[in-house]
Each structure stands twice: as C-alpha cells, then as structure tokens.
Amino acid sequence: MTLNCCVHLPGARNVYNIALVSRGIALVLSAVTVGLFLWSRSEEAPSPVVRIVLHLLSIPFAIIVGQPIAMIMSFFIYAVKKDSFSEFKSERIDQLYNSQALHEHDVLTVQELYGSRFWGSRYYQTYMKGRCSEAGLEHSAFGEGPRWWMLFDSGLAIFSRRPIIKSKALVFRKQSIWDFLFVSRASLYAQVDLGEGRSLHVFTLHTAPSLDDMKKRTALASLLEEKTPTVRQQGNELRDFMERILSDGYDERKDKVVVMGDFNVEAGTMDYHHFAK
C-alpha cells in the first residue's frame, strides 16, 4: 500500500519576486522621468504634448526592461535582505517535517512551491527537496520553469520514497487573463516504481480560479465574462494529458492512478461536476 499526501503551500503572491519586479520597473520609470525632466530644462526641450506621449510610452518600456533590471538586482537584494521576503513557507515545511507528515507518506505532491528566474527565488524548492530527502522522499520531479514572459513557474512538485521512472510536465495552453503574465497553471506527472512490475501513476495540478471565485476577490473580475470557463478548459487539457500518458505503459491489472492537487473548484458547482465527469 502506498500512502499519498497532497500539500498546498499558501503564498501565491510570492513577495520576493513581486518586490524585485516592482523595484525594477520603478527604477526604470524613475530614470526615464529624471531624463525627461532634464531634457525639458534644456534649450531643445520638447513640447508638452511630446513629453506626455513619452511619459506614456515609458510605462510599457519600463515593464519590459524592468524584469532584466530585476534579475540584476536579485544578486544583491537576496543576499542582503532575503529575510524581508518571508512567506512562512520554510516554517510550514519545517512543521510538516516535525509533525512526521513527511515521514509517514510514500508520495507527496506540492502546489505553490514557486520559483522564478531570479537569483534566490528557487530557495523554497531547494529547501523542500532537502527536507523531503531527509525524510526518505529522495526522488523528485518538478514542473517546467517559467516561460520567458512569465514571472513564476508552475510551482508543482512530486516527491517519492520509491524511484520515479519517468516524469512529464504540461503547461495548459489556456491561461486565464489574470494568470498569463504571472504564473503557469499546469499539471505534473510522475510514474513511481512500486516493484514487481507495478507502478503508481501520479498526477498533480493547479488550475486557474473560476471567474465566480475571482469576482469574490476583486471587483475588476466583474468586468469580465467567459464563454467557457478557463478552469473547465484546463480540465479538458488535463484529461487529454492523462489519456496520452496512460496509453503507454499503464497496466490496469497491476497499476494504480492517483490525481492530487488544487482544482480551484468548489463542491457542487458546475466546474466541480465538469471535473467529476
């Protein structure tokens, strides 16, 4: 018997990454603003209309240039002020370890174990992997890194006490409007060797919140409408992903399949019934 556990580590805001990007953007905007101010004081000063246009254009410019600036800043900020960005993930990981939760399970799936491309942003992934290894969960699989335009990766991981034969990650093609620049909603698969030719096929996932859920969180969501909810489209992609994986190497007589993760659906809703179906 294999005992499985699903852990959701809160902290999607990931203050370290957000702080780096916001500071990078602010730095670029400040530099542009100072430059335009000095230009306006010169003899070749542009007209007020030109200055307004340049100010407006500086915003998307700062957003584009801000991330590379943030990457450079990360080398210094993380080393000096990493404790200022705590989301209590390491404390929660320690609590899992001390409560014997990591010691009592054979397979552990994790969501919101986010990393990014900034120096130090994968600290929690490394820390979680180390703690799991100490508890005997020595085998691991992680989701894909962030796409070049995204701030975070999928935050998914699978840890196992038994060998992982193979793993595969899927980033959903359909991403919600509040996710597509920030986080990769995705699924992660691992085939765990149970011995004697048997396997446990583990799928974990983190889908987008429903529009109804987002309307409870922010008034801006009330301005949006979805013909087909994103979470259901991601559910369809998950089904296709599972079918492709299990069409090769799955023996229903000996193998088991388990799906664990953050579905972001509430019991009794249409989204819930869609996943159940």
Please give the domain boundaries of the chain with CATH numbers for all domains.
Answer: 4-16+84-276 (3.60.10.10), 17-83 (no CATH)
pLDDT, residue 268, reads 81
pLDDT, residue 265, reads 83
pLDDT, residue 63, reads 66
Query: Residues, the chain, total?
Result: 277
CA atoms within 13 A on the CB side of 147: 15
How far from chain centre, in Å, is Cα 150?
10
pLDDT, residue 135, reads 94
How far from chain centre, in Å, is Cα 277?
26
Pairwise CA distance, residues 7 & 19, whole Å:
26
Q: Does pTM surpass 0.85? A: no
The long-range contacts involving 192-197, CB below 8 angstroms and separated by at least 24 positions, are 192/2, 192/106, 192/107, 192/139, 192/160, 192/162, 192/163, 192/164, 192/165, 193/162, 193/163, 193/164, 193/165, 194/2, 194/162, 195/162, 197/251, 197/254
DSSP state of 53: H
Q: Which amino acid is at 190?
A: A
pLDDT, residue 240, reads 96
Comparing C-alpha atoms, which of 138, 148, 192 is closest to residue 2?
192
3-state helix, strand, coil in the chain (%, to 5): 45, 20, 35
CB neighbours (10 Å) of residue 241? 20
pLDDT, residue 89, reads 81
pLDDT, residue 145, reads 77
Cα-only R_g, the chain: 22
Per the CB < 8 A criterion, the answer to whether 78 and 120 are in contact is: yes
pLDDT, residue 84, reads 61
One digit per residue, the tens of pLDDT, for the chain of length 277 reads 567 788 877 664 466 666 667 777 777 778 777 777 777 777 777 777 877 777 777 777 776 676 677 767 666 666 666 656 667 788 888 998 998 888 889 999 999 888 877 777 788 899 999 999 999 999 999 998 776 667 788 899 999 999 999 999 999 998 887 777 778 899 999 999 999 999 999 999 999 887 777 777 776 666 677 778 888 999 999 999 999 999 988 898 999 999 999 988 888 888 888 888 7
